[in-house]
Homo-oligomer: A and B are copies of this chain.
Amino acid sequence: VSPPFSPFPVENLPYGVFSHHGAARRVGVALGDHVVDLAVLEAAGLLGSTDGVFATGSLNPFMARGPSLWKSVRARLTDVLAAADPPENVHRAMIPLAEVTLHLPFEVADYVDFYSSVHHAENVGRIFRPGSEALTPNWRHLPIGYHGRSGTVVVSGTPIIRPCGQRREPDNPTPTFGPSIRLDIECEVGFVVGVGSIRGRPVPASAFSEHVFGVVLLNDWSARDIQAWESAPLGPFLGKSFATSISPWVIPLAALVDARVPLPEQAPPPLPYLRDVTPWALDLSLSITLNGNVVSRPPFSTMYWSPGQQLAHLTANGASIRTGDLFGSGTVSGPAEGQQGSLLELTWNGTVPLRLHDGSTRAFLEDGDTVSITASAPGPGAVPIGFGSVDGTILPALPSSR
C-alpha cells in the first residue's frame, strides 16, 4: 500500500489528528501518502474492542488506555493494512495526505524541557560562561529540566511570529524592548505520555514503555537576547514561551524497537533512582534544513540522559504525570562539526555566520526564514521509520508591539 521511500511504511503507522474539507477532526495513522481514518475502521469493527476511543477526534483517550490496547490496535492495523486484499472499509478509510489538514496530534497537559545533550550543554557553557567549567556541578548527576508553556505548543506549519521582549545590550546599563534580534531554534525529540501516574508515586525508568506512548520531533524556538536578560535567577521564561512546534505524527514506541541502542557511558554512575537498565536510547538521525539548506545533522544516539531517566527524575519528587504530558529531550547536539542543534552553537553565538546556497549568511533567523527538522530511525529489515517533519516560517513582529 505504501510507495517506496515513504517515511510512513506499514512498519511505522504513526498517529495524528486530521480534518478533511473542513469536517470534524479525526484520529488517523499515516501510511505512505495517505492517512487512514481510524474512526471508519473502528466503526467497521476492524480494530477489535476499542470502546469508541477513535470517535472523539482526539488521540488522548486512546493514549490514556495503555500498552495493551496500543499493542492490539497496532496488530490489527498491521494485519488489515498489509493484507493483499484489504476489506472494502479500508479503501473507504484512506484519504490522500495532500487533501487533509493536520492538527496538534494531542492535547498537551504539562510540557517539560530537558537539557540532556552533554555536547549542547558544554557548548552553551563555553559560549556564555567562558573561563568557567563548561558544565554546572549538577549536570552529570541529574537530567536538568524546567517547565515550559503547554498552551503555546503548536503543530508543524504554524507560522512563528517573531517575539518581542526586553533585552540588554552589553554596553547599555538599562534594557530596551523590541523584536528579538537573536531568534534561534532548538532541535529536539519529544516524548508523549499516554498513561498517567498517581501523585506521590515515582515512575521508575523501567516503567517507561508502560507510560510513554510515542515520540515526536520538537523545535523549541528560542529568543536568545530575551532569554539572556530574563533568566537570572529563575530560568528561561519569555525567551521560550512564545511557541514550541511539534511534528504532526506521534511515532509509537513499537515502531522504534529496532532503533534502540545502548546509552553512552555515564560517569559518575547515576544515583539508584536514575539507573536505567533497559534504556530507550534511540539511534535517530536528525536533520535541520534552513531555507532548503541542510545546516546540521544531529545524532540523537549521543544524548547523555535517556528518556526513561528523564521520566524517573521528573517524578522522583512524587510529581504525577498525565495523559498528554510532553517532555523534550533538550537540544540535540553531536560532538562533531555540523551536528549542533541550535544556531547559537552552529554560528558560535553569531560570530561565525552560516553561508546559504543563495549567498546570504545567517547568524540567527531572519523574517521569512523557514526551518524544517526531519528524522529517521532504523526499522525492521532495511525499512527506515520516518518522523515526517516539524516546520516553521518566521513572520515579522507585529507592528502593534513596541
* Residues 312-346 (chain A) with a chain B CB within 8 angstroms: 313-314, 316-322, 325
Interface size on A, residues (CB 8 A): 67
| A174: B residues at CB distance < 8 A | 141, 268
- How many angstroms from the CA of A136 to the CA of B255 in the assembled complex? 48
Residues in B neighbouring A241, C-beta threshold 8 A = 147, 314, 317, 319
Residue on B nearest A395 in the bound complex, by CB:
B200
Residues in B with CB closer than 8 Å to A115 are: 234
Tallying the copies of this chain within the complex gives 2
> Is B164 a contact partner of A317 (Cβ separation < 8 A)?
yes
Interface residues of A in 208-260 (CB under 8 A from B): 223, 226, 229-239, 241-243
| CB atoms of A242 and B272 under 8 A apart | no
- Which chain B residues border A137 with CB–CB below 8 Å? 168, 232
Q: Contact: A313 with B238, CB < 8 Å? A: yes
Q: Tell me if A's interface is mostly helix, strand, loop or mixed.
A: loop
**Is A5's CB within 8 Å of the partner chain B?**
no
Question: Which residues of chain A from 100 to 157 have any CB-CB distance to chain B below 8 Å in the complex?
Answer: 109-110, 112, 115, 136-138, 141-142, 144-152, 154
**B residues less than 8 Å from A320 (CB atoms):** 151-152
Contact present for A110 and B317 (CB under 8 Å): no
A351 within 8 A of B: no
Task: Identify A146's interface contact among B235, B243, B272, B316, CB under 8 A.
Answer: B235
Contacts of A360 in B (CB 8 A): none
> B316 touching A238 by the CB < 8 A rule?
yes
The complex places the Cα of A273 from the Cα of B402 at a distance, in Å, of 7
Is the Cβ of A144 less than 8 Å from the Cβ of B230? yes
Are A164 and B231 CB-contacts (below 8 A) given A109-B151, A147-B237? Answer: no
**A→B interface (CB under 8 Å):** 109-110, 112, 115, 136-138, 141-142, 144-152, 154, 161, 163-166, 168, 174-177, 199-202, 223, 226, 229-239, 241-243, 268, 271-273, 313-314, 316-322, 325, 398, 400-402
